[in-house]
Amino acid sequence: ENLIEIAAVSRTYLDANENTVEALKGISLSIKKGEFLSIIGPSGCGKTTLLRLIAGLDAPESGKITLEGETITAPDPHRGYVFQQGSLFPWLTVEKNIAAGLKARGVYQKEKGEVAKYLALIGLEGFEKAYPHQISGGMAQRVAIARSLINRPAALLLDEPMGALDSFTRADLQDKLLELWQRDQTTMILVTHDVDEAVYLSDRIVIMTPRPGTISEILDIRLPRP
């Protein structure tokens, strides 16, 4: 069963000189439910553009993207999005940031219990009253992940969430992400330019080439899971 179908999707931008840049050209890709998919490729190949289209943060010019058969037209907490860094509300505590995920869905009941549960899942008990500037970058990314997961999204869309972290913190967050994926089997779509990271985490890797938007090859990597 495919969760997401990307069919012949194209997206162009105008650069500073008003020239058309083809960020994505005729991309097609199916993503299975529960899959941990990594999209890798060099800077500028269209990874972020593709992820933003799946998120509904941007719309394709042609082609179509569906989630469970429904065309994606707008952002929805059903597809949690985690940015590279700095997406927490700086004026809210860790627990309020996580609760903001629930509020986005209009759920107010049992909020406290859910927030505590997700705080524990990401290993940040004791930090509920801390503000984003009082925690490390790795901790902040875990909070961002919890804020998305609390909505139980059909897919978690991760745009280089570890890109700004040092290697020790990155290894830590990779293991946390694997643990969360194994626990809930949430479909994970990870954009990264770190090949090792993609191999370590994924079931499947999509490689995008330097030619904007052409997927050159799809490797199906089946990893034995511990």
Stretch that binds ligand ADP, among 45-53, 65-73, 82-90, 103-111 (CB under 6 A): 45-53
If one asks whether residue 216 binds ligand ADP (CB under 6 A), the answer comes out as no
If binding means CB under 6 A, how many residues of this protein chain bind ligand ADP?
20
Query: Among residues 48 and 186, whose Cβ is nearest to ligand ADP?
Result: 48
If one asks whether residue 66 binds ligand ADP (CB under 6 A), the answer comes out as no
Q: Which of 57, 104, 116, 135 binds ligand ADP (CB under 6 A)?
A: 135
Stretch that binds ligand ADP, among 27-35, 62-70, 87-95, 128-136 (CB under 6 A): 128-136
Taking the complex as a whole, how short is the minimal distance between the CB of residue 170 and ligand ADP, in angstroms?
Answer: 9
Please give the Cα distance from 12 to 78 (Å, whole number): 26
What x/- string results for residues 80 through 119 when contact with ligand ADP is judged by CB under 6 A? ----------------------------------------
Residue whose entry in the numeric block shows the structure tokens 């107010």: 108
User: What is the 3-state secondary structure of the chain?
Assistant: CEEEEEEEEEEEEECCCCCEEEEEEEEEEEEECCCEEEEECCCCCCHHHHHHHHHCCCCCCEEEEEECCEECCCCCCCEEEECCCCCCCCCCCHHHHHHHHHHHCCCCCCHHHHHHHHHHHCCCCCCCCCCHHHCCHHHHHHHHHHHHHCCCCCEEEEECCCCCCCHHHHHHHHHHHHHHHHHHCCEEEEEECCHHHHHHHCCEEEEECCCCCCEEEEEECCCCCC
Q: Which of 4, 25, 47, 188 binds ligand ADP (CB under 6 A)?
A: 47
The answer to whether the CB of 166 falls within 8 A of the CB of 136 is no
Q: Which residue is nearest to ligand ADP (CB)?
A: 138
If one asks whether residue 65 binds ligand ADP (CB under 6 A), the answer comes out as no
Q: Which of 8, 21, 59, 223 binds ligand ADP (CB under 6 A)?
A: 21
If one asks whether residue 172 binds ligand ADP (CB under 6 A), the answer comes out as yes
Please give the Cα distance from 23 to 153 (Å, whole number): 27
Taking the complex as a whole, how short is the minimal distance between the CB of residue 7 and ligand ADP, in angstroms?
Answer: 19
Q: Where does this chain bind ligand ADP (CB under 6 A)?
A: 13, 15, 21, 23, 41, 43-49, 134-136, 138-139, 169, 172, 212
